[in-house]
Structure 1
């Protein structure tokens, strides 16, 4: 009977050689995968409730857990733990857990059922087999390779071997290119079957592209009868008996990362068992068979359609795929329903959950089952696009280019009636281009640095792209195009400006020479004037409907010097780089001064320690991160750079870089030569923040592109191309740290040990939801809440009477709500935490998923952290949370900026109404009624930050402030602290404060470990009453004292949990935090940078301009020093002195010679001038004397004078005068000479003979003559 497919009859049922028969042929069950003896399946024992443990030899991720074994049951399910025998009705998750087991199960058709016999011949079977690929094929990730011609194979020639076995061929042993595969009953290597499973799942579920089944297990329940079914004793009743049997199949497939489950139903003739109350032929009863997934340990239950309903037989008639009777789901992390359904509304499934802001990507969307007459339309944020129906499962929607200019979560809604109703919805995350997945890689030649995409003189450039994902058609050609970006203060443009190549084979690589590129006559002829940078696009040349690829991929932004430099040189000459730099310099100088807003609000931290502590206001720069990408292309010499986590209202952002000594690098220390850029380039402020900001769609708020155009391109123009980086640094001067005020931090670690903002330490071991920190004011609305529960039992299986922090929920100023939960034991193999933002689960395990921006908050995971064990939450107000998962608990650091200090901005004053208090807000200059903001009376007027993390006001005495504003003394005992302070902050007791935790996302584990009204923790584990005999079998208390070194928190955790590793974690966390707080919270006084001119050498070389530091300056050997050689920073001000500058030695010598020559000439000219002056003065005096003599001679010859002596006997001789009055002026022979003193009086003073007598005139003219001659 080999190769035959006979109809099975009662007469021949005992004689059939089933090893030659495909058991699917009798009933035509072709949508089931092959099963039975012919395909080397193993059988499960026919005795009921005789399960079998199967070792899978691979890891199967399921509901966050990971299993390498399973239990197989007749009752239509597989389990990953051994459940107790239970009878219907079944309830999942088990409400009695943890007292009773809650197994992790996959129920294909879970009901009491049994093997059916016809006479003494068993016709029922449970078959199973495990499939795996040969080890050399595991990890291969594309099924299209073998369809490609040889000349289109990817670089390296990697391809999948093609099998020669067909399931239509009766041969047992399959070979792949001559290699015999391993075969044994129930376990075999079968790549062909795994390829078929992969194909079926990929074409029935969106999001499965790129996944491949490396392992699978196929379980088939054949002709199973319901429990309590009557026996069939005669062989001639075979035809009648098989009509009431159920045949179905379960397939689990995985690559050990993603897991899928396929349920195939052939015949479903009964729905419940007699034990379930079935009355006739397996129908009716209290509960029909269950179909679904239970996560186990209280995790959750997901129910498939028709589960536990009386119409379970419809599982055959319908399906979630295009094949009736086939249902699919993805099950690794959470249950994602696969395929489509016939509901009128529901959630959508997308082929990708992230997309580039530039657009152009295609989305395969599934949700409803699409009919031929449907008119699908997709609303993408504010866009509405038409979609094309691919098949019943998918529609294809292409997001247009240059239409989506924003980032973060956006709403997607789908209509199937042409846009009348959008009843299907989901969320989609738009990535900024700078952080999006690099599907087009621009390769720089490391052997020839000038062959660089950022260099204008490049000779050969290479571009690579993901050829497997851009299209599913192996014969498709691609175009490689250039898209340029330009913006001004009013708008922006993003358009195609040319081609690199057209209709190039899709082989994933292209190398070209820019200088030999042909002119594109279809491009914009004036593009060179505006578009000086942009991106490279690789797209499918001819799009077809059946293509399920991405269609289009983008590169990172790059300058276009290599593309336009010929035209720029033709238009502007050989100095075109300097022309570009100066144009930008002039244009940027005419714009608003963004630093005026940026510097007061976000100054740079002075040291790297401060920058790391201020994780609320700053985050690591994606391109210069000491724990990630450390290329630092534009910040050479930096160990680490940070950027402000949010932009100011102008769209600007701050960037600060630190050298290997931890000091802030300043642009003023830059040396003005092009070689200096190789090892020193400081961080600069950005006119446009790289992450963008609201409203996103206009400059300078466009994510990535505005920053590229305004801040990155000028660096290439001025520094890299023109060699005049001084122009760039004049416009982008590094922020000083003189106005920087570090934040204050609080800490929760270990088994709920607290360090408040003001430094008070205590422990609190409550269970439930608590307020960790909150503030309600006109400026701030902060709320941080925590979930506390008991940890796992001790290793001697006793409950731990303490608690740990397992969940955080936070919001500030109307931002998105961020929730973080620690995952439980055995669920931390891949992810340590679960993160939800506004109810949407967010993952960070891919390089392009490390930074997510939402409304008012940014969430980041370090680049090298793939398990989400370290999470940073940065609110736009500057509040930051750093969360670290450690063995199932969360260690939390909260950083608050100075504006959250109760004394920083607020004051209070009694109003005219004695019963009220008003608050004066300095930001609004208004008096405000505190009742509008807080229900807590007197505490309102201070606007204090309160909660379990204490009151932030630099006063540790009031850290234990209750919601009613009562203050508990810090020296209170632990019991009083627990009941009178900690428990007061339980959310259950604060009805005016809502919970941020969303019920649908709160993990439900052991309810008693979370809420117990009779719970009281252990306050002092050293008491003899808290001693356990079993602990002495594990450790001694002396060992605890020695290991913990006298640290109380470490001792408490060791004694309570019994786990040494947990105590060491607590000890290490406390010490790290102390150092962290000590280094980062200290406010440093800085004097700011000293101007450094060309040739100046500063010592020490570290850029330390802090208080008490003396900076020495010297010049290079070819320079001479000018100015004060040493300056000291004193209390934030430099000591008096002149700025240091250096002059070139040859210039200095020339100036000295010139100074000497000019000085000599000046002295000689001065001597000559003095000599000439003396000669001229002598001649003038001589002429004057002659003139006066003539006047005196004239007076002597006049006879008409009257002389009167005024001498008296008592008058001293030196005071005697003689006054002469002329009778008439006519007696003067030269009247013109005497006219100058024609006064009524002429005075002659002559006390002694032979002395000179002065003659005074009415016009003030004096004449001198000798009286003896008168």
Structure 2
């Protein structure tokens, strides 16, 4: 298979060209060296100070050849350019491959450089010609110049050529620039050229060759007379200039075109908006007006043309980009634990952030109304730090730093954000929020464990169960994209938390948190996890993250953390007030009762297999095979094994996994993970390579991919989770530069007995796991050679059934041809007792590690096997069910306290502050799934003199005026598009914007399908207030819609709340088809709700 790419590139002067060629400085005054004066010679092999990526290989040296070529593996002395593709390791860049003879005149100069001026010049060219790399920063350049060179056999040698090649890299991506000045000859006389003109014969060749005899890229004028006009051609519309990306298996053109696809970078940004991104692809003239449309918004927004190749656009606030929990916030809050309203706090940011660069005035359309006031101005952006006065109005906020440009708010402003955080209000406001929330919860469906899986019982199980749960982005010890000061900010007792991978019943979530001992935390007495009304991923009419934060996180903070003081009675966290226990009754403490762990399996090293049922065997085949397949093929996964290489790059009689692919037919995207010599591994979705440089977590149709930090002790590895949450299956892939080791995690019991492939049938019987496609199986004691010869044919995929994409120059036959089918491996039985001292020192008594080191000679492969074996053993241990007891229910003003609910755990009853036990309560112990000698306990109030009312003072010591009462009782069942913003103008370059009380979500009764609560919810909704009926009457007479409006599928929400108002969020009264909002002040209750507001039917 020969893969050719021919470039047709021509640019007519005065017609669509964007500039002229500018050479990089060269010559002895700039530190250049020169190649020996010769014919068909070259420079010495030049060690370079960085690895240079080219055609998916890293190179640590290069050669400058006299005949217009830079090569990487060997010299090129051929004077007549052979047509591409070429084999024999002739991996090269040919800027003008022809018969140059510097004995007749001219010099070949070269140098590598890390000079800052050169690096910035190169970086700017890459950013300009490749808009998707608008943040690219070069770390190394190499400049080679063929200056005024003559050709072989010339007479009188007056024809001379001058051209220059620039190699550019940042260590991961690489580019080259071709600059042509004078091109007057194309051919030496030994290639059939004329000695006077240098024309005729076999002219010069321009392009790239991979050296494998298959893959190449050539300018289509190569080896034709037209190559004489190369200094008038271009692929970036600058005559005599070309730009290419050359690190990957396929060479990419720079510049723009009239037929290419649109490019966008970065591909992801925060849903709060303000993201600076660059659009490229089509050529953009100076008089073009550029608009962009964001789905699902109906409005198009203007963008700013940056150059002929790109335009700058800014994202608005919407809920389809990266969830705030998954985005690494570039604005840092200092000491973020508790930010009190009305006090001063410091933020800091990167002053060089692209979002803060100057720009022209912007125009566009209003999307969301907000309240704003300028608090400060004339603060130097370059200080990268600012102390602000945090407003006291509102419960949650985010701070934006943005460029100090004038704007009419008609398009989204660009900027960078802090995290979304809770504003700590006065104690009076905390009580009001908590009591309102309790009152509101009474009218909503219960948050229950119905159809939600229980929590894993231990941290070890939580780390393993990635099939049902994912790390909580706000509190975990795995992901490194989180500011350490923000990690577990609102779950102070937790070391690690997990939450459901996708919304559960009615869009609910289950958050499970684990303390330093690895036990599941009880949120009644420690800050751990609970059930959640809303999943942080959002859903239909539910805004991601913000809704969960407002309805689930803030109630905990206001009813527990902020409501009263915590007192130590020999145990942690029994609160002074009972409101926290009430919160726990509405949100249910996390429980692991009846938890069933998933089953792990594995394939690693020179493939050592462990089936889902636990059988171990070695499979040494080469090719592409079925890995795990459901009986009806609704789900398939496949693996590719290739012949391994030793540490010197020589092939050995062993095989390793190099690629993995999986898909749920018609319900998910196809995910492929493939080794990459530069980036370790690539994640490929539907044949498109994904970029994880800006975000660690990406969700696709029916599947999510999480790129975890590098494994401990492995500076180059990657840990990738491919999660099919609907199926209940996750694949953990540990990648090194030599091998992919794959660990499936299966949590779906409905798959039992329905699987086939290399990892067995998951029926609980390991004895029949050497399964064949016809339903029969090999004996469990079959020899390695029998397994190899049988499985090598039985489970090999057919070309028509392959789900893999193939690298440039490769096809199915390259991995499943005659050579692969007839490969003969080394079997473990043939090397018993042959371990060397070095192997034992590395592997200890790990037989898989010892085997892999023996057959591959690679310490890296053996070490990866050892690490994987330890991880798989941990997963096996975690898959063993742990005996547990149910959580003991609380009573009024009392709670059972225990470190965990595992076997032999002891629970003790404690009363809240101000209460004591009615009678002595004996401890109870968990035995065989039951609490031994358990008896109900109650508390009674201790008569006390009530303390004087507390006050909240401002930093100046003055007591603030009483806050205007608020009643947000209907807020939880409505939409509020109202945003209250305070922005701060910051001098030569920034605004700081604080969003107070962000978007809340639509919570309509029709969205709650609870069988017990539906009718009550409907009745409650239809009986709102007298004011509502007045609005309905006005609307029936044609009441006009204000500019503050929002639509949903089932309702319309209107608000007469002025965008300039400083009042609280509007109230919304929700009806079947139309909802009306009012913002008038009403009488509000700040005390506890009357009557018994606690649910005694909730057991937890």
TM-score by length of 1: 0.64
- Specify which of 16, 40, 43 is matched with residue 52 of structure 1: 43
- Pair 1:1080–1:319, CA change in 2 (3 A): same
- Specify which of 874, 880, 885 is matched with residue 1082 of structure 1: 880
Pairwise CA distance, 1:880: 0.6
Distance 2:440 2:171 in 1: 56
Residue 1057, structure 1, aligned to residue 867, structure 2: no
- Asked if the contact 1:299/1:1004 (under 8 Å) is kept, the reply is no
- Specify which of 522, 539, 542 is matched with residue 666 of structure 1: 522
- Pair 1:84–1:337, CA change in 2 (3 A): closer
Residue 71, structure 1, aligned to residue 63, structure 2: yes
Q: Which has the higher contact order (CA 8 A, sep 6+)?
A: 2
- Specify which of 340, 358, 361 is matched with residue 255 of structure 2: 340
- Aligned equivalent of 1:396: 311
Query: Helix, strand or coil: the match of 1:805?
Result: strand
- Aligned equivalent of 1:107: 94
- Pair 1:748–1:320, CA change in 2 (3 A): same
Pairwise CA distance, 1:399: 3.9
- Aligned equivalent of 2:154: 231
Distance 1:692 1:73 in 2: 59
Residue 607, structure 1, aligned to residue 458, structure 2: yes
Pairwise CA distance, 1:892: 0.9
- Asked if the contact 1:661/1:1102 (under 8 Å) is kept, the reply is no
Distance 2:186 2:127 in 1: 31
Query: Helix, strand or coil: the match of 2:131?
Result: coil
Query: Helix, strand or coil: the match of 1:791?
Result: strand
- Aligned equivalent of 1:841: 689
Pairwise CA distance, 1:259: 3.9
- Structure 2 residues not aligned, in runs of 5+: 1-18, 565-578, 946-1100
- Specify which of 507, 510, 514 is matched with residue 654 of structure 1: 510
- Aligned equivalent of 2:889: 1091
Query: Helix, strand or coil: the match of 2:466?
Result: coil
- Specify which of 631, 641, 647 is matched with residue 788 of structure 1: 641
- Asked if the contact 1:744/1:898 (under 8 Å) is kept, the reply is no
Distance 1:986 1:510 in 2: 62
TM-score by length of 2: 0.73
- Pair 1:1039–1:312, CA change in 2 (3 A): closer
- Aligned equivalent of 2:72: 80
Deviation digits for residues 2-34 of structure 1 (CA, Å, limit 9, x no counterpart): xxxxxxxxxxxxxxxxxxxxxxxxxx9972223
Distance 1:595 1:812 in 2: 30
Deviation digits for residues 884-914 of structure 1 (CA, Å, limit 9, x no counterpart): 12451111110111334336xxxxxxxxxxx
Matches within 5 A, 1:659-808: 659-668=515-524, 670=525, 680-693=526-539, 695=540, 698-699=541-542, 702-723=543-564, 724-777=579-632, 781-793=634-646, 799-808=651-660
Query: Helix, strand or coil: the match of 1:895?
Result: strand
- Asked if the contact 2:285/2:308 (under 8 Å) is kept, the reply is no
Residue 33, structure 1, aligned to residue 24, structure 2: yes
- Aligned equivalent of 1:876: 725
Residue 441, structure 1, aligned to residue 371, structure 2: no
- Aligned equivalent of 2:699: 853
- Specify which of 732, 736, 740 is matched with residue 890 of structure 1: 740
Query: Helix, strand or coil: the match of 1:849?
Result: coil
Pairwise CA distance, 1:257: 5.3
Distance 2:704 2:144 in 1: 46
Distance 1:616 1:299 in 2: 41
Matches within 5 A, 1:491-506: 495-501=370-376, 505-506=380-381
- Pair 1:849–1:738, CA change in 2 (3 A): same
Q: Which has the larger radius of gyration?
A: 1
Pairwise CA distance, 1:126: 1.1
Distance 1:128 1:405 in 2: 51
Deviation digits for residues 1104-1152 of structure 1 (CA, Å, limit 9, x no counterpart): x13454435577999557364132334433345322345567789xxxx
- Specify which of 128, 152, 168 is matched with residue 110 of structure 2: 128
Deviation digits for residues 1053-1090 of structure 1 (CA, Å, limit 9, x no counterpart): 2332234564454345334423420x211223322222
Query: Helix, strand or coil: the match of 1:859?
Result: strand
Residue 1128, structure 1, aligned to residue 936, structure 2: no
Distance 1:662 1:285 in 2: 77
- Root-mean-square deviation (Å): 4.1
- Specify which of 599, 610, 617 is matched with residue 468 of structure 2: 617
- Aligned equivalent of 1:361: 275
Pairwise CA distance, 1:951: 0.9
- Aligned equivalent of 1:1248: none
Deviation digits for residues 747-773 of structure 1 (CA, Å, limit 9, x no counterpart): 111100101011111111111110000
Deviation digits for residues 797-835 of structure 1 (CA, Å, limit 9, x no counterpart): 8742221111111123521111112234xx4xxx32122
- Asked if the contact 1:462/1:512 (under 8 Å) is kept, the reply is yes
Residue 1139, structure 1, aligned to residue 988, structure 2: no
- Asked if the contact 2:895/2:910 (under 8 Å) is kept, the reply is yes
Query: Helix, strand or coil: the match of 2:181?
Result: strand
- Asked if the contact 1:318/1:325 (under 8 Å) is kept, the reply is yes
Pairwise CA distance, 1:635: 1.3
- Pair 1:1010–1:560, CA change in 2 (3 A): farther
Query: Helix, strand or coil: the match of 2:557?
Result: helix
Distance 1:477 1:560 in 2: 33
Distance 1:550 1:212 in 2: 25
Pairwise CA distance, 1:792: 0.5
Distance 1:42 1:1127 in 2: 84
- Pair 1:837–1:472, CA change in 2 (3 A): same
Between Structure 1 and Structure 2, how many residues are aligned? 894
- Pair 1:66–1:194, CA change in 2 (3 A): same
- Aligned equivalent of 1:977: 787
- Pair 1:1000–1:392, CA change in 2 (3 A): same
- Specify which of 240, 246, 265 is matched with residue 180 of structure 2: 265
Pairwise CA distance, 1:467: 3.0
